[in-house]
Amino acid sequence: MEQTNGTHNSSRKYLVRVQSDKVTYNNDVIQADYEYQTTRVTTQGETIVATPVSTNYQFQTKRHVPRTGLMLVGWGGNNGSTLTAALLANKHHLSWNTKEGVKDANLFGSITQSSTVPLGDEVYVPLNSLLPMVDPCDLELDGWDISGLDLAGAMNRAKVLEWQLQQQLVQEMSKMKPRPAAHIPGFVASNQETRVDNVITGNRQSMVEQLRKDIAEFKASRQLETVIVIWTANTERFAEIREGVNDTAANLLAAIRANHSEIAPSTLYAVASILEGCTYINGSPQNTFVPGCVELAEKHSTFLGGDDFKSGQTKLKSVLVDFLVSAGIKPASIVSYNHLGNNDGKNLSDPMQFRSKEISKSNVVDDMVGSNHILYQPGEKPDHCVVIKYVPYVGDSKRAMDEYMSEIMLGGHNTIVVHNTCEDSLLAAPLILDLALVAELCERITVAKRDASGTSEHQPLRSVLSILSYMCKAPQVPKGAPVVNALFKQKACIENVLRACIGLAPSNHMLLEHMVRFPLAKDAAKSASSNGCISLGH
């Protein structure tokens, strides 16, 4: 491994270097030739025919890590203020006293910063050591909010962080103030109007123009090379998909100019980001990415990702249901009850905003259920109920209670009941960081196809970044691609794409080197007489 200098983190940082004739490094790119193996399945009568398919690709990843800015929509909310505080605390190596002792700044919960992946020979390395990635403490922050409260006041209002930590951050965060936000009454709950004192005036077209100016000014003033924009504001109601309004890129832009009532603020941010060449990620469950928005991103070769941060209860659900279905156990009833007291919970107390959240949380088991036609008949699904209640007293400490009732052999039942208490923003903030860092890395990756006729031109990844699915409840995928909700598959996707970029085979966990026993040389003649059998075992 090649050691690099960690600018802010006191621990050593490494960058993996692969020695292979299929991988080359120069000053600009890491280039890897990669054989991608899949299986094509067809049916011939009552026989299912599986045909191995091998495709050769060439990955190129730019080694230069650009000076990167992160703009948050809802910067002054619980998630935005918590992430800002976390990055500053890590940058300055802060410590603070609590009733449980002294705590040090960390980024636990971030897979890019705090998880490891197998490299080989039982060696585990940080995920961010596979390829050059942005150092979180180097991120430049900015954003918008309907509340004009500075970030120190927003941090205090959120009541997420220990008081002594807040006191160390007040001076720096009080200088940070959100830009006026795009706000259209009716898309978020009416109970949010008491916070509204910092908005862009004018129609939808003027909002988009101002948002574009904000992005451009931020980029120029901080001398940034790239900007990622992430929605971490309140959940909006679903927008209606209407022919002639938001169904194509041209219609969407025309509808914005006409100030059409069904164009949501989140879509305005997405359009402004696309037109400024910025990646846009939706961290809430509303349908920001109407068909016209996706088409616009494809036309401008920019990236989109979402929807809805997957932090606590839904993440656990995507693990448990995958485990049960994979074990041949049939989940028949899934009931999820939540109560929380932060502003997200207050907004979700409105039925139209709750409906957006209910949809994103309810579809999380569909691919796992659909994978097993032995347990489920076509169209059959478990009874799935999601309840969210606003209880102000619990604040940001969300309670989630789940009951999973499953059918087992010979009519028996298995019931799993889970109580999960989580500090909501302390789980969501690391996801925002991971979304930004992985999305930025994707901007530097291009892929070419190799065959007998040669190597095609290198192309960027498709506009909809399905690689971000691990962090999202309702993953956005390119048209025609399968939606994967199973958590371990989503994590494996991230790890194996990064491995492909440096010419390493995917992690398959077969451990054949420990499973297969070959005869010793002196026993070769003896084993030949036994038909060359290979013994499998521990």
Beta bridge partners of 116: 126
Phi, psi angles (nearest 5°) of residue 523: -100, 5
Query: Which is catalytic among the residues 142, 214, 307, 308?
Result: 308
Measure Cα distances from 25 to 18, 30, 66, 336, 496 in Å: 9, 5, 18, 49, 19
Q: What angle separates helix 313-326 from helix 487-501, to the nearest 10 degrees?
A: 90
Residue 312, amino acid = G
Whether 255 and 247 have beta carbons less than 8 Å apart is answered as no
Strands 445-451 and 459-460: antiparallel
Query: Which is catalytic among the residues 91, 317, 346, 473?
Result: 473
Please state, in angstroms and rounded to a whole number, the distance separating the CA atoms of residues 233 and 126.
Answer: 30
Q: How many CB atoms lie within 10 A of CB 46?
A: 5
Residue 64, amino acid = H
Please state, in angstroms and rounded to a whole number, the distance separating the CA atoms of residues 479 and 124.
Answer: 35
Is 315 designated active site?
Answer: no
Is 357 designated active site?
Answer: yes
Give all strands (DSSP E) within 45-193, no chain letters: 47-62, 68-73, 95-98, 101-104, 116-120, 123-126, 140-145, 179-180
Is 398 designated active site?
Answer: yes
Beta bridge partners of 309: 472
Spatial neighbors of 111 by CB under 8 A, at least 6 apart, are 127, 430, 434, 470, 491, 494
Q: Is 24 helix (H, G, I), strand (E, B) or coil?
A: strand
Query: Which is catalytic among the residues 214, 398, 402, 424?
Result: 398
Is 219 designated active site?
Answer: no
Query: Which is catalytic among the residues 357, 361, 367, 424?
Result: 357
Q: Give all strands of the β-sheet with 330-340 in edge-to-edge order.
A: 383-390, 330-340, 397-407, 413-423
So which residues are the catalytic ones?
308, 357, 398, 473
